[in-house]
């Protein structure tokens, strides 16, 4: 057994580090969600900001958009040119994806400064791609509502998870201790 543990020490370290960081960040996120609820149907601050930023970007590119608080649930209704196209819920704010991203990067950590900077810049990129994803999804739902299942379940998760995967590959191959050892 000891020989197996020694042989797979780096794998075990990765898994334990990933699980620890993911658990701690997820608990912190759940705490944030519980604290941020000011009323029964209020969305959290980050989800609200994502909604407003999506609205601003839609308006900037010529789509008259409006975001209003949903009356019956903790979400924001996204209205494009008078047509209710989507609701922005807590799962749309990209924080759970950023937590996953951070957990992986820390588990494959490099130098502290490099790791911290990559986490910051990667998180900002994921957040911005997520806002862009919501904008493009809203335009798609406005023009092609019959394609909502394909757009929401296949295409747009592929965009955000594809971005995370590309960032992970960049991290492992260029910045982590593993990537440096291969060079």
Question: What's the token pair of residue 139?
Answer: 């335009």
Helix (H) or strand (E) holding 117: helix 112-143
Q: Which residue has the tokens 């998760």?
A: 157
Question: For residue 59, what are the CA distances in angstroms to 142, 151, 167?
Answer: 14, 21, 29
pLDDT of res. 35: 82
pLDDT of residue 114: 92
Asked if residues 8 and 36 have their Cβ atoms less than 8 Å apart, the reply is: no
Residues of the chain with pLDDT under 50: 183
φ and ψ at residue 64, rounded to 5 degrees? -75, 110
With H, G, I as helix, E, B as strand and everything else as coil, classify residue 68.
Answer: strand
Q: What is the pTM of this model?
A: 0.89
Decide: helix, strand or coil at residue 80. strand
Contacts of 64 (CB under 8 A, 6+ apart): 58, 80, 81, 82
- Interacting residues of 21 by C-beta distance below 8 A, sequence separation 6+: 102, 103, 106, 107
Instruction: Let me know: does 45 contact 95? Beta carbons within 8 Å.
Output: no
Q: What one-character DSSP code corresponds to residue 90?
A: G
> Cα angle at 22 between 182 and 114, to 5 degrees?
40
């Amino acid at each position: 057994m000891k020989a197996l543990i020694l042989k797979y020490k780096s794998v075990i370290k990765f898994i334990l580090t990933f699980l620890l960081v993911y658990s701690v960040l997820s608990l912190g996120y759940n705490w944030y969600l519980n604290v941020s609820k000011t009323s029964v149907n209020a969305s959290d601050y980050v989800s609200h900001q994502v909604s407003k930023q999506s609205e601003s970007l839609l308006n900037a590119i010529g789509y008259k958009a409006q975001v209003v608080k949903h009356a019956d649930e903790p979400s924001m209704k996204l209205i494009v040119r008078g047509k209710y196209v989507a609701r922005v819920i807590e799962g749309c704010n990209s924080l759970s994806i950023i937590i996953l991203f951070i957990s992986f990067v820390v588990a494959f950590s490099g130098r502290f400064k490099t790791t911290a900077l990559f986490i910051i810049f990667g998180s900002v990129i994921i957040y911005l791609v997520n806002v862009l994803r919501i904008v493009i999804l809203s335009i798609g739902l406005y023009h092609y509502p019959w394609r909502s299942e394909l757009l929401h379940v296949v295409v747009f998760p592929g965009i955000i998870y594809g971005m995370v995967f590309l960032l992970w590959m960049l991290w492992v191959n260029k910045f982590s201790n593993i990537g440096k050892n291969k060079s």
